[in-house]
Amino acid sequence: MGLVFDHLTLGQRVLFGSGKASEHLTAEVVRLAARRVMVIAASSEVEIARSITSGIRVELWYDEVVMHVPVRVAERARAAATRAGIDLIVSVGGGSTTGLAKAIALTEGIPIIAVPTTYAGSEATNVWGVTEGARKGTGVDDQVLPVTVVYDASLTLSLPVGLSVASGLNGLAHCVDSLWGPRADPINAAIAAEGIRALAEGLPAIVADPAGLEGREQALYGAYLAAVSFASAGSGMHHKICHVLGGTFDLPHAQTHATVLPYVLAFNAPYAADAASRIAAGFGAADALEGLQALREKLDAPRALADYGFTEDGIAKAVQIALPAIPASNPRPVTEANLTALLHAAMTGQDPKTLTDELS
């Protein structure tokens, strides 16, 4: 039997070019005939936002950006947008900024132009998330997909190397999860593999030359591919775990993804030969986990959830919340016992290879 699959590619305009953010953004606002623009940027990003929006009239500046988008923050932003009669949102920043724009778009139907300054990838997905009562809820709605993404690597130059590494590994996690997500297909896999290659090339270049644009361009390109594949394939085991760790325990988003990724890969790879082969090829390695760990070693990547405040006391609760959310299509059956072992290993920073040996 030949190839049989059902693939959906989301419609979105992408404008890519270092030093071109202001030009591209101004042209898009004109093209969309927007008259009342809201710019969302955290206080640390306001200077960047003002520089690239100099060619447009801004009706409302908004800077209350909070990690994991608490529902109370989303409600205040929605109310502000409604009072000002906003017809276009421009988000300038990382995943939390894009997430707030999406929370507004979800209920108010206002289109978004996203200008990323990290490698989070949220700008290229139709996935939204808000946190209420220590639980992060997520969903899928095409209304939250930004109509345009403006990528400009020069805007990421202020992102410290350590955060660039964590953010890029978050993007890498999108690629890996896409290979066994609930709607994984050959097109997603091809895009994800190229995303792995680009991130594996770009991130070490950022570490070697933080002021250089070439590595940051590759990382942005890879992060976009990662998000496109993830949006199509759907959220897999890795993201279900990390959403719990972020929403319930308030762990930092990028660092959590960067830390958990090798453990999920070690857990699933022996049960997903084709995915493991593609991941290995993306790293230019003989083995998927070895390729990831070699990259992480070059990058001095985050190693243990305990470094970010996660403790033994939280494992049982995390398992209880995450276990029913993990897709039944995950290549390896997930149980309370093996998920507990995975989270314990990630908490302590145990060598992921030993986790593979223990659970085999």
Pairing of strands 127-132, 88-93: unpaired
Element (H, E) at 210: none
Domain boundary among 156, 177, 199: 156
Mean pLDDT of 66-84: 96
Token readout for 205 is 């270049």
pLDDT for 9 equals: 87
Q: What is the SS3 assignment for 140-199?
A: ECHHHCCCEEEECHHHHCCCCHHHHHHHHHHHHHHHHHHCCCCCCCHHHHHHHHHHHHHH
CA distances from 10 to 124, 125, 126, 206, 300 (A): 9, 8, 8, 30, 34
pLDDT band at residue 136 under the 50/70/90 scheme: confident
pLDDT band at residue 120 under the 50/70/90 scheme: confident
Token readout for 36 is 């009342």
Tell me: do 243 and 146 sit in the same domain. Answer: no
Tell me: do 237 and 353 sit in the same domain. Answer: yes
Domain boundary among 156, 187, 221: 156
Sheet of strand 58-62, all strands in order from the earlier edge strand to the far edge? 13-16, 148-151, 112-116, 88-93, 37-40, 58-62
pLDDT for 360 equals: 58
pLDDT tens readout for residues 3-19: 899 998 889 999 999 99
Decide if 6 is inside a domain. no
Tell me: do 243 and 272 sit in the same domain. Answer: yes
pLDDT for 124 equals: 95
- Dihedrals φ, ψ of 23, to 5°? -60, -50
pLDDT tens readout for residues 227-263: 999 999 999 999 999 999 998 999 998 999 999 999 9
- Dihedrals φ, ψ of 129, to 5°? -155, 135
Widest Cα–Cα separation across the chain: 60
pLDDT tens readout for residues 142-191: 999 999 999 999 999 999 999 999 999 999 999 999 999 999 999 999 99
Decide if 353 is inside a domain. yes
Token readout for 46 is 């306001």
Tell me what the pLDDT averaged over the chain comes to: 95
Cβ 38 vs Cβ 89: under 8 Å: yes
Per cent of the chain over pLDDT 90 is 93
pLDDT tens readout for residues 161-171: 999 999 999 99
Decide if 5 is inside a domain. no
Tell me: do 73 and 151 sit in the same domain. Answer: yes
Three-state DSSP state, 300? coil
Considering the entire predicted model, what is its pTM? Answer: 0.92
Domain count, the chain: 2
Tell me: do 173 and 317 sit in the same domain. Answer: yes
Asked which of 40-54, 271-285, 303-317, 343-357 is least confident by mean pLDDT, the reply is 343-357
pLDDT for 247 equals: 87
Tell me: do 204 and 329 sit in the same domain. Answer: yes
In the chain, the N- to C-terminal Cα span, in Å, equals 32
Tell me: do 303 and 340 sit in the same domain. Answer: yes
Domain that holds residue 129: 13-156
Tell me: do 181 and 142 sit in the same domain. Answer: no
Query: Using CA of residue 11, residue 17, residue 19, residue 23, what is the dihedral sign?
Result: negative
Decide if 2 is inside a domain. no
Mean pLDDT of 69-73: 95
Decide if 273 is inside a domain. yes
CATH code assigned at 18: 3.40.50.1970
pLDDT for 48 equals: 97
pLDDT for 224 equals: 96
Nearest to 310 by CA among 260, 257, 262, 245: 245
Decide if 83 is inside a domain. yes
β-bridge partners, 102 = none
Tell me: do 57 and 205 sit in the same domain. Answer: no
Three-state DSSP state, 273? helix
Residue 1 predicted with pLDDT over 80: no
| 359: exposed, middle or buried (Cβ count in 10 Å: 0-12, 13-18, 19+) | middle
Q: Which residue has the tokens 């070059």?
A: 298
Mean pLDDT of 110-120: 96
Tell me: do 183 and 137 sit in the same domain. Answer: no
Residue 319 predicted with pLDDT over 80: yes
Question: Helices (DSSP H) in the chain: which residue ranges?
Answer: 21-31, 46-52, 71-83, 95-108, 161-178, 186-208, 214-233, 237-249, 253-268, 273-283, 288-299, 315-322, 336-348, 352-359
Tell me: do 129 and 173 sit in the same domain. Answer: no
CATH code assigned at 341: 1.20.1090.10
